[in-house]
Amino acid sequence: MQTLGLLGLPFVGEPQSHTTHCLWEGYNKQMGTNLDDLPIDLKDEAIACNPKGYYELDLLTLIMIARGLYKEDTSGKVVKLMGELMINCPNDQTEKIIFCKRRDLDAQVKSNIKLAEIDMEINEVLELDNPYAEMYETMEYKDWEKQILFQTFLLDKKIVRGTIPYIDLYFEDMLEEPKKHIERLVSFLELKEVDINKAINNVDKRK
């Protein structure tokens, strides 16, 4: 999302840079809680996992978009949807899909588990009754692995069967060759006269 914003694309709604999952942010707003209520060490731990933020909408807004009930004009705008939200999103309201993946499934599973552990701790510290935390508590490594594989399979099927233009973008590829893959994005999105330097410099290149 940061890359697309730096390429000049407008976002749907007003996504925020959250320190944890957007799912938590939306739920916490309903509960009247705030991440600022966290002990400083836990808040720092959450921020360290994702220092640049996710730039996501809250869960309720995302569900409205996925069900085709969102009232504002979304034409030409970007929204980040995950898992079953994207699977259920109406095809006639989807112009293009950037399918973000990871080649290293083990790393993806471990990353999800790490974030889930922080979310569960937040739930306990703030004394929330969050259904996501209850689900995370019952999940083991194999459950996360199955969930990721199944959601990827379903989204692959949705893309292949539909007529929506799409591009696969791998996390590892972007880190290794940001210029190459940002240029792919620019071409796919048919952006004209766009300065890609800020987007390239924003990537934490690892090679």
Q: What is the 3-state secondary structure (H, E, C) of 58-102?
A: CHHHHHHHHCCCCCCCCCCCECCCCCHHHHHCCHHHCCCEEEEEC
pLDDT at position 33, please?
Answer: 54
Helix (H, G, I), strand (E, B) or coil at 29: helix
pLDDT at position 103, please?
Answer: 92
The Cα–Cα gap between 78 and 98 comes to: 10
pLDDT at position 164, please?
Answer: 84
pLDDT at position 47, please?
Answer: 64
Question: If you search the block for the tokens 């994702």, which residue do you land on?
Answer: 50
Q: Which of 53, 23, 206 is nearest to 128 (CA)?
A: 23
- Which helix (H) or strand (E) segment holds residue 166: the answer is strand 166-170
Beta bridge partner(s), residue 101: 170
Which residues in the chain land under pLDDT 50? 19-23, 26-27, 30-31, 207
pLDDT at position 204, please?
Answer: 77
Q: Which of 14, 169, 72, 82 is nearest to 5 (CA)?
A: 14
Show Cβ contacts of residue 40 under 8 Å, excluding neighbours closer than 6 positions: none
Degrees, nearest 5: CA angle 22-25-27: 110
Q: Which two tokens stand for residue 191?
A: 């952006």
Degrees, nearest 5: CA angle 158-159-164: 120
Q: How many CA atoms lie within 13 A of 47 on its CB side?
A: 9
**13: phi > 0 → left, psi -120 to 50 → alpha, else beta; which?**
left
pLDDT at position 160, please?
Answer: 67
Q: Is the dihedral of CA 125, 126, 128, 132 positive or negative?
A: negative
What is the maximal distance between C-alpha atoms in the chain? 50
